[in-house]
Chain A
Amino acid sequence: MAVPVSSPAHPDIAPIVAITGLDKTYASGRQALKRIDLEIRRGEIFALLGPNGAGKTTLINIVCGIVRPSAGTVLADGHDVIRDYRAARAKIGLVPQELSTDAFETVWATLRFSRGLFGKAPDPAHLERVLRELSLWDRKDAKILTLSGGMKRRVLIAKALAHEPTILFLDEPTAGVDVELRHDMWQMVRRLRDSGVTIILTTHYIEEAEEMADRVGVIRSGELILVEDKATLMRKLGRKQLTLSLRTPLPRVPDALAGYPLELSTDGATLVYTFDARSGQGDLAALLRRLAEHGIDFHDLHTQESSLEDIFVSLVRAGA
């Protein structure tokens, strides 16, 4: 099978979220979204990346019913989020970017409230599962104001899961969460995905998208500039670097090798060759042969792939 293991979603199944021609201009006159078309596949983890103010939160808030679109339509599991908002919203869970919680409520009470608000009959067993999953069970009777920031973030996640949504939006879920907990959260998100929940997350930690996402979307100044399978993206746009530690330092790159994008370190001891990953390895072998021809010897070499972060930075810079 050619289907990559990291992408359980099949594109031919109807999208779980379908966004068409979405525009948003705030009352202030600020255009936050420009004709966004986006389809989220059933069961995938989709990472939405973009610099501050790009429109990520605006996009999420429109799907969730908090912000009104200026134009365009959004379908959540086939239900129009405006005309058929009850059915649409019942399927969606949202963890907002801001840490907004009721200070004086207990964790348990706030979860019960969330579940009720979304029209579900009480189910203490489900709430207990959610709290245990998020390591909050022993704090269930604590007032929220006595919790740390990271715990409050998890309370918000628990609230979003209280009504068993099939689509989960996580707007910067790991902001202010320590490293260990972040890894726990990634685990939890994967388990949710495995249980059939579609997850759309925004993050400023590119490693998070790299680690988790099946697909990545990049939004810049309200425009969706790229949507791609993460693996394809890394393959297509990723660059590789070959680093050679030279046996004898060179004063400068020999003229005969001027055709290659080579960089010499200031001490002349390392030579770095940057190349497109997709251009294949033939180039590399040729280079090594040329080096040998010119008597340039090395005692070590390693290659390095650029991370999603590098890709992201170059994408966002490109249009700035």
Chain B
Amino acid sequence: MSGPLLNLPAIRAIYRFEMARTFRTLAESILSPVLTTSLYFIVFGAAIGSRMGEVGGVGYGAFIIPGLVMLSLLNESISNAAFGIFMPKWSGTIYELLSAPVSFVEIVLGYVGAAATKSVLLGVLILATARVFVPYEIAHPVWMVCFLALTSVTFSLFGFIIGLWADDFQKLQIVPLMVITPLTFLGGAFYSINMLPPPWQTITLFNPVVYLVSAFRWSFYGIADVNVVVSAGMTLAFLALCLGVVWWIFRSGYRLRT
């Protein structure tokens, strides 16, 4: 009607605000996931991995790298984006966002964009850390980056929804803890689903994380548990679902506007 269709300064303001928060809490946001991953490599890669055979022609240490990156990426994307939008709700500063000339598009681009950026940075950092422990090659670097970005965006969006939904700290943590952690551990980060007995192979296909890990691993070594096109399709479908939910939340004012 009047004014620009998209409030670009607002997106920039939210993005900058969120990135500043990240750098303020550099230790928790970057160092701790890197440390955790290093521990995984020491335990699974070096200690146990040296006694394990190859999986699909790849050494065990290298095999688990894509899965480990996904593990951190999922957790960090969700908790980061959830926290980012939960905090203003909790502290009351959300009033400013609600009274500003912005639609959900600007809010989502700002918050989810910042959370996803952080996740991508984190993923790169973990890959660099992994290089210290295990030599590995990336067969399809462009696809690798695409999957990294797609996963970061999708799960940041998912985290954003959790942050909108949560009205206390417990709810903020319950989904990552009760749903995401089991799904990631059972998502084939540490094994190929071909190693499972047949009924479990089928059940596992209901776990969305399987697709993420599988596609990501394919971009490294060209091996996949599930067809990479199917995996990409599933991730995109989940992204679309999250977008729909966010759109509905803002339209209905659910938990934002009384």
Q: Which residues of A contact B (CB under 8 A)?
A: 26-27, 64-68, 79, 83-90, 92, 94, 96, 98, 100-105, 109, 112-121, 159
Partner of A65, one of B2, B93, B98: B98
Interface string of B86-100 (1 = CB under 8 A from A): 000001110111111
Is there a chain A Cβ closer than 8 Å to B14's Cβ? yes
What is the distance, in angstroms, from B5's C-beta to the closest C-beta of chain A? Answer: 9
What is the distance, in angstroms, from A199's C-beta to the closest C-beta of chain B? Answer: 16
For the complex, give the distance between the alpha carbons of A294 and B76 in Å: 91
Contact A68 B2 (CB under 8 A): no
- Chain A residues near B95: list those with CB within 8 A: 64, 66, 94, 96, 98, 100
Q: List 7 A-B contacts (CB under 8 A).
A: A66-B99, A66-B257, A86-B103, A113-B14, A117-B9, A117-B14, A117-B97
Contact B101 A119 (CB under 8 A): yes
Given contacts A87-B1, A100-B92, A119-B102, 17 further A-B contacts (CB under 8 A): A27-B258, A64-B98, A67-B258, A84-B2, A85-B101, A86-B1, A86-B2, A86-B101, A89-B100, A92-B99, A94-B99, A109-B17, A113-B17, A116-B9, A116-B10, A116-B12, A117-B9
Is there a chain A Cβ closer than 8 Å to B253's Cβ? yes
Look across to chain A and name the residue whose beta carbon is closest to the beta carbon of B99.
A64
Partner of B2, one of A27, A64, A79, A109: A79
Given A87-B101, A96-B95, residue A119 in contact with residue B16 (CB < 8 A):
no
Contact A65 B99 (CB under 8 A): yes
For the complex, give the distance between the alpha carbons of A121 and B7 in Å: 11
Is there a chain A Cβ closer than 8 Å to B197's Cβ? no
What is the distance, in angstroms, from A71's C-beta to the closest C-beta of chain B? Answer: 15
Contact A159 B9 (CB under 8 A): no
- Count of CB-CB pairs between chains A and B under 8 Å: 100
What is the distance, in angstroms, from B99's C-beta to the closest C-beta of chain A? Answer: 4
**Residue of B10, B12, B13, B103 most packed against chain A (CB within 10 A):** B13
For the complex, give the distance between the alpha carbons of A118 and B13 in Å: 9
Contact B100 A113 (CB under 8 A): no
Given A68-B258, A118-B10, residue A98 in contact with residue B101 (CB < 8 A):
no
Contact A87 B3 (CB under 8 A): yes
For the complex, give the distance between the alpha carbons of A90 and B17 in Å: 20
Partner of A86, one of B7, B21, B91: B7
Is there a chain A Cβ closer than 8 Å to B51's Cβ? no
Contact A119 B9 (CB under 8 A): yes
Interface size on B, residues (CB 8 A): 31
Partner of A117, one of B10, B91, B253: B10
Contact A117 B13 (CB under 8 A): yes
Contact B98 A90 (CB under 8 A): no
For the complex, give the distance between the alpha carbons of A96 and B92 in Å: 10
- Chain A residues near B16: list those with CB within 8 A: 113, 116
Q: Which residues of B contact A (CB under 8 A)?
A: 1-4, 7-10, 12-14, 16-17, 20-21, 24, 91-93, 95-103, 253, 257-258
Look across to chain A and name the residue whose beta carbon is closest to the beta carbon of B107.
A117
- Chain B residues near A101: list those with CB within 8 A: 91, 93
Contact A119 B99 (CB under 8 A): no
Given A112-B13, A119-B10, residue A100 in contact with residue B93 (CB < 8 A):
yes
Closest CB pairs A-B (n = 9):
A116-B13, A100-B92, A86-B101, A89-B101, A64-B99, A116-B9, A119-B7, A117-B100, A87-B2
Contact A109 B20 (CB under 8 A): yes
Given A68-B258, A87-B101, residue A104 in contact with residue B24 (CB < 8 A):
yes
Look across to chain B and name the residue whose beta carbon is closest to the beta carbon of A85.
B101
- Chain A residues near B24: list those with CB within 8 A: 104
For the complex, give the distance between the alpha carbons of A65 and B14 in Å: 19
- Chain B residues near A121: list those with CB within 8 A: 9
Look across to chain A and name the residue whose beta carbon is closest to the beta carbon of B4.
A119
Contact B93 A102 (CB under 8 A): yes
For the complex, give the distance between the alpha carbons of A112 and B92 in Å: 19
- Chain B residues near A89: list those with CB within 8 A: 99-101
For the complex, give the distance between the alpha carbons of A142 and B138 in Å: 46
Contact A159 B96 (CB under 8 A): yes
Partner of A68, one of B8, B92, B257: B257
For the complex, give the distance between the alpha carbons of A66 and B92 in Å: 12
For the complex, give the distance between the alpha carbons of A29 and B207 in Å: 42
What is the distance, in angstroms, from A47's C-beta to the closest C-beta of chain B? Answer: 21
Look across to chain A and name the residue whose beta carbon is closest to the beta carbon of B20.
A109
Look across to chain A and name the residue whose beta carbon is closest to the beta carbon of B95.
A96
- Chain B residues near A104: list those with CB within 8 A: 21, 24
For the complex, give the distance between the alpha carbons of A257 and B92 in Å: 61
Partner of B101, one of A90, A114, A115: A90
For the complex, give the distance between the alpha carbons of A296 and B16 in Å: 79
Look across to chain A and name the residue whose beta carbon is closest to the beta carbon of B3.
A86
- Chain B residues near A114: list those with CB within 8 A: 13, 96
Given A26-B258, A86-B7, A102-B91, residue A117 in contact with residue B102 (CB < 8 A):
yes
- Chain A residues near B257: list those with CB within 8 A: 65-68
For the complex, give the distance between the alpha carbons of A113 and B227 in Å: 45
Look across to chain B and name the residue whose beta carbon is closest to the beta carbon of A58.
B258
Look across to chain B and name the residue whose beta carbon is closest to the beta carbon of A112.
B13
- Chain A residues near B96: list those with CB within 8 A: 94, 114, 117, 159
